[in-house]
A and B are shown apart, each in its own frame.
Chain A
Amino acid sequence: MKTIKEKTKKLTGSKAMIQALEQEMNRDDSIFVMGEDVGKYGGIFGSTTGLFDKFGGERVMDTPISETGFIGAAVGAAAEGFRPIVELMFVDFHGVVMDQIYNHIAKIHYMSGGAVKLPIVLMTAVGGGYSDAAQHSQTLYASFGHLPGLKVVAPTFPHDIKGMLISAIRDDNPVIFMFHKTLQGLGWMDQIDASLGDVPVNAYTVPLNKANVVRKGKDITIVGVQMMTVEALKAAEELAKKGIEAEVIDLRSIKPIDKETILKSVAKTHHLLVVDEDYLSYGITAEISAIVASEGFGDLNAPIGRLAIQDVPIPYSRVMEKFVIPDSKSIIDSVLKLITV
C-alpha cells in the first residue's frame, strides 16, 4: 500500500472515468473508444465527455445502433493488436449482442489455447432508481459474472472508478466495466455524496480482483456493490446509533470474487448480510452465501441474510420501484432480524 501523499482532486464518477480514458489514450495509441453517442454527446451517462474534441473521431468513434456489429468488430480489432473500448449504452441492451459477448469475447482466448488475446473493455451503464422501468434499470451483475472468461468489475467510488478503469484498459483479458448511473454524479439525476470523491491526479491502478472494506465493524458483515454499498454505509451509521457496528465490504469485483476479504470479515463478525441491486435467484447474494456456507460455516452465528430484487422485473412507478430495490431502511431491518436471531 502506498503511503505517499498524492495530489488529488475532487471528481465525480463520470469525471473519474473520463480522466482514466484520457490519460490512458494519451499513453497508448492502440486504445480507441467505440459506441453509440460517445462522440460529441460524450456518452449518455457521461463516460466520454470531451474526449471527442481531444482525440477526434478516429479514436472516439460514434457507431450506428448496431451492437453486434461494433462490439463484434472490437473482437477483430483486438485480435489485430488494438485495445478497443466499447460502450454498451445500457447493460439492459445486452440481449442484442450477447452472442458476441458470451460466445466470442469470453471464449476465444480459451478456445484458442491462449493464442488469441482480446484486450477489450466493455463499459456499460447499470442500475435503476430513477423510474426508467424494466428495460433500462437492471444491473445484471450476475449474468456477466456467471460466464467464464470475463472479468467483471463494478466500482462504487470515483477513486476506484478511475483506478479500476485504468487496470481494465491495461489488462490483456476482456473486462466488463460496469458503472452505476447514479454514481456518475450527473447533473440531471439524483445528487448523492458518494458520487463525488478524492481522485489522484496522476494515473494509478486499483486491482480488478479485490474487495474493499469501506467501514470497519465487529458485529455484522454487510457486502454490497455500487449503490448497495452506498446504502449499506448509510444503514451502518444508523445501526451504530443502536450499538451495532457493521463492517461494510464494497465488493468492487464481481468476477473474480474476493473470497478472502469476505471470509476474513465474517470470521470476525460472525454475521453476514449480502445486498444486491440485481435479482435474488442465482445472483451475488447466492454466490457469496454459498462461499461462506461452504468455507466459513463454522464462523457463522446466524443464518446468512440475502437482500436483493425479489425476482420481478423492475417496475416503473416510483413507489413500486422503491419497494423492490433494497435501501438503507431494508438493510437495517434485515440486520436487526439477523442480529437478534
Chain B
Amino acid sequence: MENISKKDLLWIYRKMKTSRYFEEKMEKVYLEGKQPVFNIGAGPVPGEMHLSNGQEPAAASMIVHLTKNDTVTATHRPHHEAIAKGVDLKKMTAEIYGKKTGLGKGKGGHMHLFDPDVKFSCGGIVGAGIPHAVGAALANKKRGENWVAVAFIGEGAANTGAFHESLNLAALWNLPFIVVIEDNKWGISVAKKNATSVTSNAIRAKAYGIKGYSVKDNDPIEMFKVSKEAVERARKGEGPSIIEIKTYRYLGHFQGDPELYRNKEEVPKLKEKDPIERLKKEMLKENVATVEDFKKMDAEIYKEVDKAYEFAVNSEYPEPEDALEDVFC
C-alpha cells in the first residue's frame, strides 16, 4: 500500500463503493413488479440482470491506470467496469430502465452498454468482446499511440475459442492488449474446477509467450500493482498480458438464480473479507482518509447514484416505432 498514492486509493475506493451501491440499489429495483411470483419480464427493469457485487477490485484497480483514450470491453456483468471507466451513469441507468435517454436509446439494455465517449462497450456473448479489444489495440498500434485496450472477462470465457484466437493474435502482433479474467469461481452453475483444465488461467500466458499474473483473494492492492505493471508494459510496446484475479460473486449468476449448486456458507464467508471494507480499514489504518472523509465520500456517492436512478425513472420510454430506427446509419 505504501507505493500507492492517496489519490489513487481514494479513486479506487470511490469507484468500488459507487459500483456496490449502484448494484445494491439495482437488486431492490429489479425485484419491483417481480413479487410474489418471480417473472423475469416484469417490472421497471425487465430481462436478465447480472450484478457484480463483490467483483469491484477487478475493475477499479485496473481502470485506475487507464485514461479516456484506453479501451475497455466488458461482459454481460458490466456495471463495475462501466462505472470505473466513467460511463455516463445517468444514461447507463436509463438504458437499464429501457428509456429513450439511455446510452442505446433503450435498444441495448444492461448487457449491451456502449459509451464511445469513454471507449467502453460490453456484450452478452461470453468471450466475444476479447477480439474487439484486440482490434482496438491494433488500431492504437497502427496510429502510433500508446493507448491500451483491456478486455474484462469471466473465467468461463477463458475456455472459448475467441479467447485463444485473440491471445494468439495479440501476442503475434505484439499489441497493447490486456485481458483481465475475473475468476468468480462459477460459470453460471459450473465450478471452475469442472470447466477449466488448469488451476490458473495466468499460466495459459505461457502458451502465447506473454506475461501472466495471478491476483489472490480479491485484493484491490495487489490488483493495482499487477495492473500497473501490465499497463506500463503495454504502453511501452512490451506486449500483452493475462491477469487473473480470484474474485467473489456475492449474488447468483443472475437475479432470480436459485443457486442450488453452491454451498450456503460460501457467500457469508466471502463477505467477511469484503474488499471494499478491507480497503477502507487499511486506508483508515494508514491515515489515508478519516472516518469523516469516508462519510462525506459515501454521501456524495449515494447522491450521485440516486440521481442517476431518478433520471432513469423520470425519463420517457421510447416511442414503439423507434424500434425501426438505427438498424443502419
Contact = CB atoms under 8 A, between A and B. Distances in A.
Given A80-B71, A110-B327, A115-B103, A75 B135 contact: yes
Interface stretch (B45-53, B121-129, B183-191, B282-290): B121-129
A115 B128 contact: no
A74 to B, nearest CB: 6
B112 interface: yes
B116 interface: yes
A114 interface: yes
A77 to B, nearest CB: 4
A68 B136 CA distance: 15
A77 B169 contact: no
Contact of A115 (B114, B123, B166, B325): B114
Interface in B123-146: 123-125, 128, 130-140, 142
Contacts of A172: 329
Contacts of B112: 111-112
B309 to A, nearest CB: 20
A99 B128 contact: yes
A245 B244 CA distance: 69
Nearest to A118: B329
A56 interface: no
Give the size category of B's interface with A: 35 or more
A151 interface: yes
B105 interface: yes
A222 interface: no
A68 B165 contact: yes
Chain B binding surface SS class? mixed
A116 B142 contact: no
Interface in A157-189: 172-173
B33 to A, nearest CB: 24
A113 B169 contact: no
B131 A69 contact: yes
Contact of B327 (A63, A84, A116, A148): A148
B42 interface: no
13 contacts: A64-B172, A70-B131, A71-B131, A72-B165, A73-B138, A76-B138, A84-B135, A112-B104, A112-B107, A113-B107, A113-B326, A114-B325, A148-B327
Interface of A: 32, 58, 63-64, 66, 68-82, 84, 96, 99-100, 103-104, 108-117, 148-149, 151, 172-173
Given A72-B128, A112-B121, 19 more contacts: A66-B168, A69-B165, A70-B131, A73-B166, A74-B135, A75-B131, A76-B132, A76-B134, A76-B137, A77-B138, A79-B136, A104-B125, A112-B107, A112-B112, A113-B102, A113-B105, A113-B106, A115-B103, A173-B329
